[in-house]
Amino acid sequence: MVVDSCLDRESRQPIALKYLTELGIDVATSVKLFVITHWHDDHLKGAADILSACRDAKFVCSEALRSTEFIQFVRICSTRSFMVSSGVDEFDRIFEKLQRRSTGERPESVGPDLWAIADRRLLYLPKNNRSFNVEVFALSPSDTAMTLALSEIGQLLPRAGTPKRRAVAQRPNHVSVALWIIVGNLNILLGSDLENHRDKRLGWRAVVLSPNRPRGRAFVVKVPHHGSSNAYYHKMWSEMTTPEAAALLTPFASGKRPLPSQDDVEKIRSHTSQIYCTGRPQGWRPPRRDSTVDKTVREIARTRRVVHGPMGQVRLRLSAQRGLDDPTIELFGEAQHLT
């Protein structure tokens, strides 16, 4: 299974393809599911290439993108008559690939194999004599998130006589697909970029409150939305994860407010000390220098940030031979255990 995509800095290949191929895995037949959690650039680059390489994989994206408005929107943006925004180009390429592998006769039937919505099972592989049963569930978007998304995407369409607006979907994070993976008797929670919302029918509150979500606690958590406090919901941790779960974090370096901040990490730390980050959190304060140097820097630069090398990698592996409850965690490049 592949979830989201980004490119390797040097080869410009999708990292997931590179990784699986180097392990000797035939991606064409072995990858069963490819999920795009939401349509932000940092989760999408190279997605169309993954789709063509993994030809047996079912393609999944958020049900909120189902509306004809969204499909129309991708088409309008791809004709370049409209200001292009994050992710639209890549989605256009994805549609092209889907079109090519479609067996249906009607062009309107081209689309993802599965639309993700809260509590839908996306994959089920029964146990065979060498392995464990595997199940994958979507935990979001909620039905209310869907309703809102459909009306928002409709508003993005350009209309005659009105000025062109930059095509920014207001909150793709609210319709982002969080995933629950069951392997044998272990659970893994991939938090995507799903955020909190005051409305309990949306975001993490909706997930935790859902009577239909799969039960149990996750021992591995991909921390939602780069560790941001707007995606921190204490009940997600206290009700859906085991104490001292392995928390995997991806910092977000660009943008005005790099994620996570030190405070964000402290919140997570109240649930687990096992926090692994694929890079140094860039929002953290630069080291103190000589006071005159600091003063001069303050005079010429409004904000300062510590600059580090390319993204590292956190690898968590489970061995079927050794028993699934004993994961090995390895860190590469700038990745680190946040102690």
* Residues 253, 281 contacting (CB under 8 angstroms): no
Q: Please identify, using beta-carbon distances, which residue of 42 and 63 lies nearer to Zn ion.
A: 42
In the bound state with Zn ion, the residue whose beta carbon lies nearer, of 39 and 82, is 39
- Provide the phi-psi class of 222: left if phi over 0, else alpha when psi is between -120 and 50, else beta: beta
Give the count of residues interacting with Zn ion (CB under 5 A): 2
Phi then psi dihedrals of residue 118, to 5 deg: -45, 135
Pair type for strands 313-319 and 323-332: antiparallel
Which residues ranging from 269 to 328 are in contact with Zn ion (CB under 5 A)?
A: none
For residues 134 and 126, is the Cβ–Cβ distance under 8 A?
no
Exactly one of 42, 49, 89, 90 binds Zn ion (CB under 5 A); which one?
A: 42
Burial of 107 (0-12, 13-18, 19+ CB in 10 A): exposed
From the list 38-46, 127-135, 253-261, 274-282, the region that binds Zn ion by CB under 5 A is 38-46
- Contact letters (x/-) for Zn ion, 144-183, by CB under 5 A? ----------------------------------------
Taking CB under 5 A as the rule, does residue 90 contact Zn ion? no
From the list 9-17, 37-45, 52-60, 180-188, the region that binds Zn ion by CB under 5 A is 37-45
**H or E, element range at 49:** helix 47-53
102 within 8 A of 110, measured Cβ to Cβ: yes
Distance from C-alpha of 117 to C-alpha of 4, rounded to nearest angstrom:
17
Q: Please, what is the minimum distance in Å from the beta carbon of residue 272 to Zn ion?
A: 21
| 63 makes contact with Zn ion (CB under 5 A) | no
Interacting stretch for Zn ion, rule CB under 5 A, among 26-34, 105-113, 190-198, 295-303?
190-198
For Zn ion, the closer of residues 188 and 231 by Cβ is: 231
3-state SS string for 9-46: CCCCCEHHHHHHHHCCCCHHHHCCEEEECCCCHHHECC
Which CB atom, from 42 or from 89, has the smaller least distance to Zn ion? Answer: 42
Choose one: 120-128, 186-194, 238-246, 322-330; the region binding Zn ion (CB under 5 A).
186-194
Q: Which one of the spans 42-50, 112-120, 291-299, 314-322 is the region binding Zn ion (CB under 5 A)?
A: 42-50
CB closer to Zn ion out of 35 and 182: 35
Distance between CA atoms of residues 126 and 246, nearest Å? 26
**Out of 4, 49, 89, 193, which residue is the one contacting Zn ion (CB under 5 A)?**
193
Binding stretches for Zn ion (CB under 5 A): 42, 193
